[in-house]
Structure 1
Amino acid sequence: MKKLQVLALLSLTLLVNSCKDSNRNDYKPNSVGAINSLAVVMDNELWKGKVGDEVRKHFAAPVVGLIWDEPLFTIQHLPPSVFTGTTRYRRSTLYVQKDSLDIAHVKTDMYATPQKVAVIKGRTEDEIIENLSEKSSQIIAEFKNLEVKEAQKRFLRSLNKEQVLQEEFGVSLTIPSIYKVGKHEDNFVWIDRQVPKGTMNIIAYEAPYNSFSNDSTLVRDIIRMRDSIGSKYIPGPDVPGKRTHMRTEPAFSPSVYHTTIIGKNVIEIRGIWDIKNYPMAGPFVTYIIDDSKNSRKIVLEGFTFAPATEKRDYMFELEAILKTLKFETQ
């Protein structure tokens, strides 16, 4: 009997210690890295050749809708020999290697959390390039989704507590406290923050539910809507003898995509705004959300004015804010 008790006690001790070891093994440190930064791990020879060119072609491609070219990611090249220790904690990493395997996949939380590590391997440089070409869109989408979530997590450090969006539209956004309500009128809310040399802005309004139902006139209808809102609510500087207001830059047709946010159909528009009769311009991103329950379209837009300043990260922050949309009554 005593022998059985000893064996049971020994088994229990081994089980507890095993659980402790498992917990230690499961622990991963917090990932690090600036928003929209990407570590690219590959041999110097590959980086300087056509494989590196293919990486830059996709991962440093110009962001759609900006006034001048800015890359999707700020890339830091790392030789495999230095990809050790805390260097592996980078939040977004692309690992490219010539190998006996021909594979392309994305791994989650390999060395830290949250983290995405995209692995591209091939037996030849041409195989690596083919894998990059085939998988880059998926990999970029996963990296971007991770970066949006990281930005949204950082918003939680200090939040805007104003309830104007809930009161006017029955929706909410997770907005950093540095943003303040600048204008509130019937069916229109304007929230902004100061940045060096300019402002970052969020506007919200409703449109009829049957708006934008004709695909053949979709772009024209969107431009007409934006220009009417700009004319009514967003005046430009005073110019003697002229009327100034925001509009869609007439020389550049905006890019239009179909996507989803919180399970709702969304039209996404990216383009350039300007001020009629005055030299001001900048990028915008607009989301037109299908709210069938309330028989309406909710329109959310972010736009930036910051002359002679890079705007990629400004627009990315606005995008991340708009994607926190919640309907308070659903």
Structure 2
Amino acid sequence: MRKALIVAFALLLGVTSCDESKEKRNYLPGSTGAVNSLFVVVDNGLWNGAVGDRIRDHFAASIVGMPWDEPKFSITQIPPSVFKGTTTHARSLLLVTQDSVAQSYISPDAYAKPQRVAVVKGTTEAEMIAGLDAIAEEAIKSFRDNEMEEAQKRFKRSLSKTKVLQEKFGIDLTLPSIYAVGREEDQFVWIDRPVENGTMNLLVYTMPSNSFSQDSTFVSDIIAMRDSIGKQFIPGPDMPGKVTYMKTEQIFAPSVFPTEVGGKKAAEVRGIWEIHNYPMAGPYVTFILNDKENDRKLVLEGFVFAPQTEKRDYMFELEAVIRSVRWLDSK
């Protein structure tokens, strides 16, 4: 009888412990922080030495395809002694400490929600640097994915009511209401929103399913596609005696990466656009989706025109909109 009571008591403690753990997770404070910001918790001496250099090498590296250098994350460094209270609520946290063990891992929602915390421990500076090298790629992806989910959640506070993408392409985007349709043609839509000193722009169009069939000409075919669309649909400023339109910047080849968008294989292309016959330029990101079900390539592109303005967060928002794509019934 006594043994049965002990077992029952142990089970009750286990259930209570689980409930308390669930309660703790449910009552976490909301995370804070500007988009693409990263709090780094590390001793000042380490921050000012080789460990800090390696942190900056990974997390403040320049973003590909921007007109000038802009870091992946805006970093705020604090020593462990002040890591308490609201400083623990940052949406993206990197904790680097000297410890008796060497390990690195990522923890979700450790102090707030939604939150990602990357932890790197080492007995020596060399071990901490090795830990940073080992976890950096995974941590950057985790931070970005969390930021993107949060951005898409915020978009839903006020959504655009336009149905043009559903009607023309059979897709839906989590598109904020501040965006408006600027141009609509057969199988081409241009949507934009005003920003300081310029505009953020979203293009949606289709290409034949057999486009880009040759690996050897893939990049040149992408450039030709973009330049053709720009010449046909995206004029530049009026210039007497000159034809102006958006095209791909000629000096540097775009960077191309394999990715997945909306559950479909895709190519991600990043580079600089410019205006033919006019001194105007900016960054773009193009996603070419392999839409086999509808026998086409679907192209979703974001580009920014905002002279003398940092563009990282604008480009991030456009990517978040594009990656929210949902497929309606196949045409």
TM-score interval w.r.t. the shorter chain? over 0.9
Equivalent residue for 1:100?
A: 100
Superposed CA offset, 1:50-98 (max 9, x none):
1000000110000111100010000000110111122111110000011
Q: Does 1:25 align with 2:24?
A: yes
CA distance in 1, matches of 2:195, 2:57: 31
Matches within 5 A, 1:209-224: 209-224=209-224
Q: 1:103 to 1:15 in 2, by over 3 A?
A: closer
Q: Does 1:323 align with 2:309?
A: no
Equivalent residue for 2:151?
A: 151
1:47 partner letter: W
Q: Does 1:294 align with 2:294?
A: yes
CA distance in 2, matches of 1:163, 1:62: 37
- Which secondary structure does the structure 2 equivalent of 1:269 belong to? strand
Does the aligned pair in 1 maintain the 2:259–2:265 contact within 8 Å?
Answer: yes
Range with greater deviation from structure 2 (82-91 or 279-288): 82-91
2:160 partner letter: N
Q: Does 1:73 align with 2:73?
A: yes
Equivalent residue for 2:5?
A: none
Range with greater deviation from structure 2 (22-31 or 308-317): 22-31
Q: 1:17 to 1:216 in 2, by over 3 A?
A: closer
Matches within 5 A, 1:105-116: 105-116=105-116
Unaligned regions of 5+ residues in structure 2, if any? 1-8
Does the aligned pair in 1 maintain the 2:179–2:191 contact within 8 Å?
Answer: yes
CA distance in 2, matches of 1:313, 1:47: 26
Matches within 5 A, 1:251-330: 251-330=251-330
Q: 1:75 to 1:16 in 2, by over 3 A?
A: closer
2:314 partner letter: Y
Equivalent residue for 2:177?
A: 177
CA-CA distance at 1:155 after TM superposition? 0.5
CA-CA distance at 1:229 after TM superposition? 0.2
With normalisation by structure 2, the TM-score equals 0.93
Does the aligned pair in 1 maintain the 2:262–2:327 contact within 8 Å?
Answer: no
- Which secondary structure does the structure 2 equivalent of 1:110 belong to? coil
1:33 partner letter: G
Q: 1:141 to 1:22 in 2, by over 3 A?
A: closer
With normalisation by structure 1, the TM-score equals 0.93
CA distance in 2, matches of 1:82, 1:107: 20
Equivalent residue for 2:46?
A: 46
Equivalent residue pairs, number: 320
CA-CA distance at 1:213 after TM superposition? 1.9
CA-CA distance at 1:318 after TM superposition? 0.3
CA distance in 1, matches of 2:83, 2:233: 52
Q: 1:237 to 1:46 in 2, by over 3 A?
A: same
- Which secondary structure does the structure 1 equivalent of 2:290 belong to? strand
Equivalent residue for 1:7?
A: none
CA distance in 1, matches of 2:90, 2:140: 16
The alignment-based identity, stated in percent, is 57
CA distance in 1, matches of 2:41, 2:319: 28
Superposed CA offset, 1:124-149 (max 9, x none):
10111111112211110111111111
Equivalent residue for 1:134?
A: 134
CA distance in 2, matches of 1:285, 1:327: 21
Superposed CA offset, 1:257-277 (max 9, x none):
001112210000000000000
Does the aligned pair in 1 maintain the 2:259–2:268 contact within 8 Å?
Answer: yes
Q: 1:74 to 1:182 in 2, by over 3 A?
A: same
CA distance in 1, matches of 2:30, 2:101: 30
Q: Does 1:191 align with 2:191?
A: yes
2:78 partner letter: L
- Which secondary structure does the structure 2 equivalent of 1:132 belong to? helix
Equivalent residue for 1:3?
A: none
CA distance in 2, matches of 1:150, 1:277: 40
CA distance in 1, matches of 2:217, 2:113: 45
- Which secondary structure does the structure 1 equivalent of 2:38 belong to? strand
Equivalent residue for 2:160?
A: 160
Equivalent residue for 2:37?
A: 37
